Amino acid sequence: MISFQDPMQIIIDIFEDRHPKKNVIIQYVQGMKEKADAWGETFFPNDGGTPVVSIDVEIPVIGAIDVMAHELAHVAMGPNGEHGEAWEKESS
């Protein structure tokens, strides 16, 4: 029998529990670190559409969980949310 807990899914589940009405598209991309010097980013469409979280597939697994939590905190805070005390609380 195989028992597996996906840490990325756990972070996503926590986000969904905290923010059941927020929508987000999560995608895995390649080469972001080389092009944008970032392992992850959040894009908010100008038309107010669904935010898109991108995570570079080449990120070491140990860092992927933190990056996913970081980017979902951006979604939770919205396009005008800035890193600060409220954002830190959301990302933990």
Task: Write out pLDDT tens, residues 21-63.
Answer: 999 999 999 999 999 999 999 999 999 999 999 999 999 988 9
Does 1 map to a domain? no
**Distance from C-alpha of 66 to C-alpha of 2, rounded to nearest angstrom:** 25
pLDDT at position 6: 87
Does 56 map to a domain? yes
Q: Domain span at residue 30?
A: 7-91
pLDDT at position 83: 79
Q: Exposure string (b/e) for 16-28, b if CB count within 10 Å is 16 or more?
A: eeeeeeeebebee
pTM: 0.84
Total domains in the chain come to 1
The domain that holds 18 is classified in CATH as 3.30.2010
Most confident of 2-6, 30-34, 86-90: 30-34
Dihedral sign from CA coordinates of 25, 29, 34, 35: negative
